[in-house]
Amino acid sequence: MAYADDLLRYARQMAEQYPNEAHQPSLRRALSSAYYALFHLLICDAVANCADPGFRAALARMFDHGPMKNVCENSVERIKNLFHPNPPGEPERTIQYHLHNVADTFSQAQQNRNDADYNLLKEWQPDQVSLLVEPIEDAFKSWYVIRDDQAAQDFLISMPPTREKKQADRGASPKQKPRPTLADLHERDLSCFHTGVHKIPGFDADRLPDALRDLQLHRSRRGT
Amino acid sequence: MGPESGYSPHLSALSGGRPSITRDNEVMYIAKAFAQQAQFFGAVSPLSLPPRVVSLTPTLGTDWNGNEAVFFQVVLADNAVPRTQLLAFTKQISQSIVSRLNPNEEWGVWPYFDFITQSEQARMKQPTWA
Protein backbone atom coordinates (compact mmCIF):
# COMPACT_ATOMS: atom_id res chain seq x y z
CA MET A 1 0.00 0.00 0.00
CA ALA A 2 1.30 3.46 -0.91
CA TYR A 3 2.47 5.93 1.71
CA ALA A 4 -0.48 8.26 1.09
CA ASP A 5 -2.96 5.44 1.76
CA ASP A 6 -1.12 4.47 4.94
CA LEU A 7 -1.18 8.06 6.10
CA LEU A 8 -4.89 8.36 5.45
CA ARG A 9 -5.58 5.17 7.36
CA TYR A 10 -3.49 6.47 10.23
CA ALA A 11 -5.49 9.72 10.17
CA ARG A 12 -8.72 7.76 10.49
CA GLN A 13 -7.32 5.75 13.38
CA MET A 14 -6.26 8.93 15.15
CA ALA A 15 -9.66 10.52 14.60
CA GLU A 16 -11.39 7.54 16.17
CA GLN A 17 -8.86 6.80 18.88
CA TYR A 18 -10.86 8.54 21.61
CA PRO A 19 -14.47 8.67 20.39
CA ASN A 20 -15.86 10.00 23.66
CA GLU A 21 -13.11 12.42 24.49
CA ALA A 22 -11.82 15.54 22.77
CA HIS A 23 -8.26 14.28 22.91
CA GLN A 24 -6.52 17.19 21.22
CA PRO A 25 -3.20 15.56 20.26
CA SER A 26 -4.93 12.68 18.47
CA LEU A 27 -7.47 14.90 16.75
CA ARG A 28 -4.81 17.35 15.63
CA ARG A 29 -2.63 14.52 14.33
CA ALA A 30 -5.64 13.15 12.48
CA LEU A 31 -6.26 16.42 10.63
CA SER A 32 -2.62 16.97 9.86
CA SER A 33 -2.04 13.41 8.65
CA ALA A 34 -5.18 13.44 6.52
CA TYR A 35 -4.03 16.59 4.75
CA TYR A 36 -0.55 15.20 4.22
CA ALA A 37 -2.05 12.02 2.83
CA LEU A 38 -3.73 14.01 0.07
CA PHE A 39 -0.64 16.18 -0.38
CA HIS A 40 1.59 13.14 -0.92
CA LEU A 41 -0.97 11.36 -3.07
CA LEU A 42 -0.91 14.21 -5.60
CA ILE A 43 2.85 14.65 -5.49
CA CYS A 44 3.44 10.91 -5.82
CA ASP A 45 1.31 10.80 -8.96
CA ALA A 46 2.90 13.97 -10.31
CA VAL A 47 6.42 12.56 -10.17
CA ALA A 48 5.45 8.99 -11.04
CA ASN A 49 6.37 9.44 -14.69
CA CYS A 50 9.96 10.13 -13.77
CA ALA A 51 11.96 6.89 -13.96
CA ASP A 52 14.94 7.73 -11.80
CA PRO A 53 14.13 7.41 -8.04
CA GLY A 54 16.66 10.02 -6.98
CA PHE A 55 15.41 12.54 -9.47
CA ARG A 56 11.83 11.68 -8.49
CA ALA A 57 12.58 12.50 -4.87
CA ALA A 58 14.21 15.80 -5.83
CA LEU A 59 11.29 16.64 -8.07
CA ALA A 60 8.83 15.91 -5.28
CA ARG A 61 10.55 18.50 -3.07
CA MET A 62 9.65 21.21 -5.59
CA PHE A 63 6.02 21.06 -4.61
CA ASP A 64 4.94 23.58 -2.04
CA HIS A 65 1.77 23.98 -0.03
CA GLY A 66 0.92 27.55 -0.98
CA PRO A 67 1.28 27.21 -4.76
CA MET A 68 -0.61 23.91 -4.68
CA LYS A 69 -3.43 25.58 -2.82
CA ASN A 70 -3.50 28.41 -5.35
CA VAL A 71 -3.78 25.91 -8.19
CA CYS A 72 -6.61 24.15 -6.37
CA GLU A 73 -8.51 27.37 -5.76
CA ASN A 74 -8.11 28.38 -9.39
CA SER A 75 -9.34 24.96 -10.47
CA VAL A 76 -12.37 25.18 -8.19
CA GLU A 77 -13.32 28.55 -9.67
CA ARG A 78 -12.68 27.38 -13.23
CA ILE A 79 -14.81 24.26 -12.81
CA LYS A 80 -17.55 26.22 -11.07
CA ASN A 81 -17.73 28.53 -14.07
CA LEU A 82 -17.57 25.55 -16.42
CA PHE A 83 -20.75 24.17 -14.87
CA HIS A 84 -22.64 27.46 -15.11
CA PRO A 85 -24.96 27.94 -16.77
CA ASN A 86 -24.70 24.66 -18.67
CA PRO A 87 -22.65 21.75 -17.36
CA PRO A 88 -20.50 19.92 -19.90
CA GLY A 89 -21.58 16.56 -21.25
CA GLU A 90 -20.23 13.18 -20.20
CA PRO A 91 -17.54 12.05 -19.60
CA GLU A 92 -16.17 15.59 -19.09
CA ARG A 93 -18.80 16.28 -16.50
CA THR A 94 -17.80 13.37 -14.28
CA ILE A 95 -14.11 14.10 -14.64
CA GLN A 96 -14.51 17.76 -13.72
CA TYR A 97 -16.80 16.85 -10.82
CA HIS A 98 -14.13 14.60 -9.33
CA LEU A 99 -11.39 17.12 -10.03
CA HIS A 100 -13.43 19.79 -8.26
CA ASN A 101 -13.84 17.43 -5.32
CA VAL A 102 -10.09 16.90 -5.06
CA ALA A 103 -9.16 20.55 -5.50
CA ASP A 104 -11.76 21.90 -3.10
CA THR A 105 -10.95 19.29 -0.47
CA PHE A 106 -7.24 20.02 -0.74
CA SER A 107 -7.78 23.71 -0.11
CA GLN A 108 -10.05 23.10 2.89
CA ALA A 109 -7.79 20.40 4.31
CA GLN A 110 -4.72 22.58 4.12
CA GLN A 111 -6.38 25.30 6.19
CA ASN A 112 -7.57 22.71 8.72
CA ARG A 113 -4.07 21.26 8.91
CA ASN A 114 -2.65 24.68 9.72
CA ASP A 115 -5.26 25.25 12.39
CA ALA A 116 -4.63 21.79 13.81
CA ASP A 117 -0.88 22.24 13.94
CA TYR A 118 -0.57 25.87 14.98
CA ASN A 119 -3.83 27.28 16.35
CA LEU A 120 -3.94 26.00 19.91
CA LEU A 121 -6.90 28.22 20.74
CA LYS A 122 -9.12 26.06 18.58
CA GLU A 123 -10.55 23.03 20.29
CA TRP A 124 -11.45 20.05 18.13
CA GLN A 125 -14.17 17.50 18.76
CA PRO A 126 -14.21 13.85 17.58
CA ASP A 127 -17.21 14.04 15.24
CA GLN A 128 -16.06 17.37 13.91
CA VAL A 129 -12.66 15.93 12.99
CA SER A 130 -14.25 12.83 11.58
CA LEU A 131 -16.33 15.05 9.32
CA LEU A 132 -13.16 16.76 8.12
CA VAL A 133 -11.27 13.52 7.46
CA GLU A 134 -14.15 11.98 5.54
CA PRO A 135 -14.02 14.45 2.62
CA ILE A 136 -10.34 13.62 2.22
CA GLU A 137 -11.16 9.93 2.02
CA ASP A 138 -13.75 10.85 -0.57
CA ALA A 139 -11.20 12.95 -2.46
CA PHE A 140 -8.94 9.89 -2.62
CA LYS A 141 -11.76 7.97 -4.28
CA SER A 142 -12.31 10.82 -6.72
CA TRP A 143 -8.64 10.96 -7.55
CA TYR A 144 -8.48 7.22 -8.22
CA VAL A 145 -11.30 7.66 -10.72
CA ILE A 146 -9.60 10.41 -12.71
CA ARG A 147 -5.87 10.02 -12.04
CA ASP A 148 -5.08 8.77 -15.55
CA ASP A 149 -7.23 11.30 -17.31
CA GLN A 150 -5.62 14.18 -19.17
CA ALA A 151 -7.43 16.77 -17.03
CA ALA A 152 -5.95 15.23 -13.88
CA GLN A 153 -2.49 15.15 -15.43
CA ASP A 154 -2.80 18.80 -16.45
CA PHE A 155 -3.87 19.60 -12.92
CA LEU A 156 -0.70 17.96 -11.58
CA ILE A 157 1.55 19.64 -14.11
CA SER A 158 0.22 23.03 -13.06
CA MET A 159 1.18 22.44 -9.43
CA PRO A 160 4.94 22.95 -9.21
CA PRO A 161 5.80 26.60 -8.74
CA THR A 162 7.35 28.32 -11.74
CA ARG A 163 9.05 31.69 -11.99
CA GLU A 164 6.11 33.07 -13.96
CA LYS A 165 3.62 31.89 -11.34
CA LYS A 166 5.68 33.36 -8.52
CA GLN A 167 5.75 36.69 -10.32
CA ALA A 168 2.03 36.50 -10.97
CA ASP A 169 1.39 35.75 -7.29
CA ARG A 170 3.50 38.68 -6.26
CA GLY A 171 1.58 40.89 -8.64
CA ALA A 172 -1.77 39.60 -7.46
CA SER A 173 -1.12 40.29 -3.80
CA PRO A 174 1.48 42.97 -3.39
CA LYS A 175 2.98 42.66 -0.01
CA GLN A 176 3.49 45.72 2.12
CA LYS A 177 7.04 46.76 2.62
CA PRO A 178 8.10 45.57 6.06
CA ARG A 179 8.44 48.25 8.64
CA PRO A 180 12.08 48.87 9.54
CA THR A 181 13.40 47.08 12.54
CA LEU A 182 15.92 48.23 15.09
CA ALA A 183 18.56 46.37 13.13
CA ASP A 184 17.75 48.54 10.11
CA LEU A 185 18.01 51.63 12.22
CA HIS A 186 21.39 50.64 13.52
CA GLU A 187 22.70 50.72 9.97
CA ARG A 188 21.80 54.37 9.78
CA ASP A 189 23.15 57.33 11.66
CA LEU A 190 21.55 57.15 15.08
CA SER A 191 23.07 60.42 16.27
CA CYS A 192 19.78 62.12 15.44
CA PHE A 193 18.24 60.31 18.38
CA HIS A 194 20.61 62.05 20.73
CA THR A 195 20.70 65.47 19.15
CA GLY A 196 17.05 65.72 18.14
CA VAL A 197 16.41 65.45 14.41
CA HIS A 198 14.35 68.59 14.20
CA LYS A 199 17.38 70.64 15.17
CA ILE A 200 19.63 69.39 12.38
CA PRO A 201 19.92 72.07 9.67
CA GLY A 202 18.80 70.90 6.26
CA PHE A 203 17.38 67.69 7.71
CA ASP A 204 15.09 65.86 5.31
CA ALA A 205 12.55 63.84 7.28
CA ASP A 206 11.39 62.00 4.20
CA ARG A 207 14.69 60.21 4.01
CA LEU A 208 14.20 58.58 7.37
CA PRO A 209 12.27 55.38 7.81
CA ASP A 210 8.74 55.58 9.07
CA ALA A 211 9.59 54.07 12.40
CA LEU A 212 12.04 56.82 13.13
CA ARG A 213 9.51 59.50 12.29
CA ASP A 214 6.91 57.85 14.48
CA LEU A 215 9.37 57.70 17.32
CA GLN A 216 10.24 61.33 16.82
CA LEU A 217 6.59 62.33 17.00
CA HIS A 218 6.07 60.16 20.03
CA ARG A 219 8.95 61.80 21.80
CA SER A 220 7.78 65.25 20.88
CA ARG A 221 4.36 64.52 22.35
CA ARG A 222 5.89 63.26 25.53
CA GLY A 223 8.00 66.40 25.66
CA THR A 224 11.24 64.51 25.85
CA MET B 1 7.57 70.41 18.30
CA GLY B 2 4.40 70.39 16.23
CA PRO B 3 3.01 67.61 14.12
CA GLU B 4 4.48 69.11 10.96
CA SER B 5 8.05 68.54 12.03
CA GLY B 6 7.31 65.10 13.40
CA TYR B 7 5.26 64.02 10.45
CA SER B 8 3.48 60.71 10.63
CA PRO B 9 1.52 59.48 7.64
CA HIS B 10 -0.86 57.54 9.89
CA LEU B 11 -1.79 60.54 11.99
CA SER B 12 -1.78 62.80 8.99
CA ALA B 13 -4.38 60.68 7.27
CA LEU B 14 -6.52 60.66 10.38
CA SER B 15 -6.29 64.35 10.98
CA GLY B 16 -6.79 65.33 7.38
CA GLY B 17 -3.27 66.69 7.08
CA ARG B 18 -1.07 66.58 4.03
CA PRO B 19 -1.17 63.32 2.11
CA SER B 20 1.53 60.73 2.48
CA ILE B 21 4.36 61.33 0.05
CA THR B 22 6.76 58.77 1.36
CA ARG B 23 4.67 55.63 1.56
CA ASP B 24 4.53 53.44 -1.50
CA ASN B 25 1.57 54.29 -3.62
CA GLU B 26 0.56 50.76 -4.54
CA VAL B 27 -3.16 50.24 -4.49
CA MET B 28 -4.24 48.25 -1.49
CA TYR B 29 -6.85 45.64 -2.19
CA ILE B 30 -9.58 45.12 0.37
CA ALA B 31 -12.09 42.35 -0.17
CA LYS B 32 -15.62 43.61 -0.59
CA ALA B 33 -16.76 41.42 2.28
CA PHE B 34 -14.45 43.35 4.61
CA ALA B 35 -15.24 46.75 3.20
CA GLN B 36 -18.99 46.13 3.33
CA GLN B 37 -19.31 43.81 6.28
CA ALA B 38 -22.89 44.71 7.11
CA GLN B 39 -24.00 43.94 3.56
CA PHE B 40 -22.00 40.71 3.57
CA PHE B 41 -23.50 39.42 6.79
CA GLY B 42 -26.84 40.66 5.53
CA ALA B 43 -26.40 38.49 2.45
CA VAL B 44 -25.56 35.43 4.54
CA SER B 45 -28.44 35.62 7.00
CA PRO B 46 -31.34 35.06 4.59
CA LEU B 47 -29.75 31.92 3.12
CA SER B 48 -32.27 29.21 3.68
CA LEU B 49 -30.78 25.97 4.93
CA PRO B 50 -32.30 22.61 5.81
CA PRO B 51 -34.11 22.55 9.16
CA ARG B 52 -31.47 20.16 10.51
CA VAL B 53 -28.98 23.02 10.37
CA VAL B 54 -29.19 24.69 13.76
CA SER B 55 -27.04 27.71 12.95
CA LEU B 56 -24.69 29.16 10.38
CA THR B 57 -22.04 31.55 11.69
CA PRO B 58 -19.74 33.36 9.26
CA THR B 59 -16.50 34.87 10.53
CA LEU B 60 -14.29 37.05 8.40
CA GLY B 61 -10.55 36.61 8.70
CA THR B 62 -7.48 35.50 6.81
CA ASP B 63 -6.38 31.99 6.05
CA TRP B 64 -2.89 30.73 6.84
CA ASN B 65 -1.69 32.12 3.53
CA GLY B 66 -2.80 35.63 4.45
CA ASN B 67 -5.68 35.66 1.98
CA GLU B 68 -9.02 37.10 2.97
CA ALA B 69 -11.43 34.34 3.90
CA VAL B 70 -14.80 33.63 5.41
CA PHE B 71 -15.03 30.79 7.90
CA PHE B 72 -18.48 29.28 8.13
CA GLN B 73 -19.29 27.29 11.22
CA VAL B 74 -22.31 25.14 10.59
CA VAL B 75 -23.96 23.59 13.63
CA LEU B 76 -25.97 20.48 12.84
CA ALA B 77 -28.67 18.92 14.96
CA ASP B 78 -27.53 15.71 16.62
CA ASN B 79 -28.32 12.73 14.44
CA ALA B 80 -29.50 15.10 11.74
CA VAL B 81 -28.98 12.48 9.10
CA PRO B 82 -27.71 8.91 9.19
CA ARG B 83 -23.94 8.74 9.55
CA THR B 84 -23.52 7.24 6.08
CA GLN B 85 -25.26 10.23 4.50
CA LEU B 86 -23.54 12.90 6.56
CA LEU B 87 -20.77 13.67 4.06
CA ALA B 88 -23.24 14.16 1.23
CA PHE B 89 -25.39 16.31 3.51
CA THR B 90 -22.51 18.60 4.49
CA LYS B 91 -21.38 18.90 0.88
CA GLN B 92 -24.88 19.83 -0.14
CA ILE B 93 -24.91 22.60 2.47
CA SER B 94 -21.52 24.03 1.54
CA GLN B 95 -22.24 23.91 -2.18
CA SER B 96 -25.57 25.57 -1.62
CA ILE B 97 -23.93 28.41 0.31
CA VAL B 98 -21.17 28.85 -2.25
CA SER B 99 -23.52 28.86 -5.22
CA ARG B 100 -25.92 31.34 -3.68
CA LEU B 101 -23.47 33.67 -1.95
CA ASN B 102 -20.61 33.40 -4.46
CA PRO B 103 -18.11 34.41 -1.77
CA ASN B 104 -14.99 34.44 -3.93
CA GLU B 105 -16.17 36.20 -7.04
CA GLU B 106 -18.79 38.42 -5.45
CA TRP B 107 -17.19 39.22 -2.09
CA GLY B 108 -13.48 38.48 -2.57
CA VAL B 109 -13.19 35.95 0.25
CA TRP B 110 -12.42 32.26 0.04
CA PRO B 111 -14.97 30.11 1.91
CA TYR B 112 -13.98 27.54 4.53
CA PHE B 113 -16.46 25.24 6.23
CA ASP B 114 -16.49 23.65 9.62
CA PHE B 115 -19.35 21.34 10.59
CA ILE B 116 -20.05 20.48 14.17
CA THR B 117 -22.93 18.83 15.96
CA GLN B 118 -24.99 20.62 18.55
CA SER B 119 -23.82 18.42 21.42
CA GLU B 120 -20.16 18.85 20.51
CA GLN B 121 -20.56 22.58 20.29
CA ALA B 122 -22.16 22.60 23.75
CA ARG B 123 -19.22 20.58 25.04
CA MET B 124 -16.81 23.16 23.68
CA LYS B 125 -18.48 25.93 25.61
CA GLN B 126 -17.84 24.18 28.89
CA PRO B 127 -14.86 25.47 30.80
CA THR B 128 -11.94 23.10 30.82
CA TRP B 129 -12.13 22.61 34.60
CA ALA B 130 -15.76 21.42 34.45
- Chain A nearest-CA residue for B6: A217
Q: For residue A99, what pLDDT is reported? A: 96
- What residues does B71 pair with on adjacent strands? B59, B112
Residue A202 CB coordination number (10 Å): 4
Domains of chain B listed by start with CATH number = 27-120 (3.30.300)
Expressed in angstroms, the distance from the first to the final Cα of chain A is: 70
Considering only CB atoms, A77 lies closest to which of B29, B104, B113, namely B104
Residue A200 CB coordination number (10 Å): 12
Starting from the edge strand earliest in sequence, which strands make up the sheet with B110-117, in order? B53-62, B68-76, B110-117
- Which of A216, A91, A19, A158 is closest to B7 using CA atoms? A216
ipTM of predicted assembly, 2 dp = 0.74
Q: What pTM value is reported for the model?
A: 0.74
- Any idea of the CA torsion for A66, A69, A74, A76, to the nearest 10 degrees? -170
Distance from CA of A105 to the nearest CA of B (A): 10
Instruction: Spell out the residues 6+ positions from residue A104 whose beta carbon is closer than 8 angstroms to its own.
Output: A72, A76
Considering only CB atoms, B6 lies closest to which of A108, A128, A216, namely A216
- CA A19, A24, A25, A27 torsion: positive or negative? positive
Q: Which residues of B touch A173 (CB under 8 A)?
A: 29, 66-67
CA distance A175 to B98: 28
Interface check A126 vs B, CB under 8 A = yes
From first to last of the 130 residues of chain B, give the pLDDT tens digit. 443 444 444 443 444 445 555 666 667 788 999 999 999 999 998 888 888 999 999 999 999 988 999 999 999 999 888 888 999 999 999 999 999 999 999 999 999 999 999 999 988 866 555 4
